[in-house]
Amino acid sequence: MKATPVTVRRRLLEWFDGHRRDLPWRQTTDPYRLWVAETLAQQTQAARAATYYLRFMAHFPTVADLAAADLDTVLKLWEGLGYYQRARRLHRAAQEICTLRQGQLPATFAEWRTLPGVGDYTAAAVASMAFGEPVAAIDGNVRRVLARFCATDIGDDPARQATVVQAAAQALVGGARPGDVNQALMELGAMVCRPRTPQCATCPLAADCMAQRYKLTAHYPLRPPRRIRPTRMFACLLVTWQGRYLVVRRHQKGLLGGLWEFPTFPCREGELPAETAASGRHRLGLPPGPGLPGPVLTHNFTHFRQILHVFPAAVKTPGAATDAEVRWVTPDELDALPLTRLARRLAQSVGTKPAGVETAPG
């Protein structure tokens, strides 16, 4: 940094004191509430996270309340936010706090890092905001602000960018109000130092920002090359029986773990969706059916694009075994379950009235 950390810190805090958004977790230094807020806000716009935060606090005002809740309740409140692994780990960490730490929340960065799902960013954010520990919390917003500010020290070296950003952030939290400094950097990245349209004219750091000085804001932060997102095909069985839908719970440790969906099967290479659907019916113990296709839905995950071919199937007998992971549910029960986003879209697209019983061909 060209300006001293003391000068930059002063400018940041003056700006933050006058421009900070009125987010609900800004009214507290309670470590539990800050932990929940930071977990919700990851990969999520602050206004959207605020809605979920208020809902979460209404249901789970203390860590003991969260620990005592069943996972389905937690996932249902999380529904629509994505990245469900965060919800599962938040719940598991709350249980660890109550069972292994007698309900005592961690007070240091190092202690927070021992909890499931708590990485460097969350641990630093909570430790600095709740306890004043001088440790830098670096998220995407902070990385963008400091990579641009220190652009000439980084050059075109992504590895050096990480080192420079970490050192700059740590220098800034080394003085007064480390938690507010972390929040100020995050806020500056969200409101002013935006990815595509930075508002340099209103930035408190513009006078010493190297990317602004040399017209390099579009170049920083350095990013790895984009990977091509593959497409994967799936067949989904929308099975109904006597006004109920057949749903299954996804494995807890996989993608979208713990959420419910209509039975869904990946298409093997060279296999038509109708063939996959027929195989799926057999695996569920359902009788053969006409396999007439229904709607086709798409969804983009971080690492692949999903194309879901839906096959409605109204049956006369419940051929599928029912256990804790497989259920026949009414439309009202379906609405109450934590569903995957595609399952929720599918339920909404077909309405809640199950189709009539199908007739097998021939």
Picking from 312, 281, 284, 282, the residue whose alpha carbon sits closest to that of residue 296 is 312
Ranges of H-type helices in 20-100: 31-41, 46-59, 63-68, 71-78, 84-100
Instruction: Summarize the chain as % helix, strand, coil (round to 5).
Output: 50, 10, 40
142 and 186 Cβ atoms separated by less than 8 Å? yes
Picking from 329, 324, 355, the residue whose alpha carbon sits closest to that of residue 343 is 329
| Region of residue 351 (left: phi > 0; alpha: psi -120 to 50; beta: else) | left
Per the document, the length of the chain is 362
| 3-class SS of residue 311 | strand
User: 3-state SS of 328-355?
Assistant: EECHHHHHHCCECHHHHHHHHHHCCCCC
Picking from 197, 278, 262, 268, the residue whose alpha carbon sits closest to that of residue 233 is 268
Picking from 138, 144, 148, 183, the residue whose alpha carbon sits closest to that of residue 15 is 183
* Residues annotated as part of the active site: 38
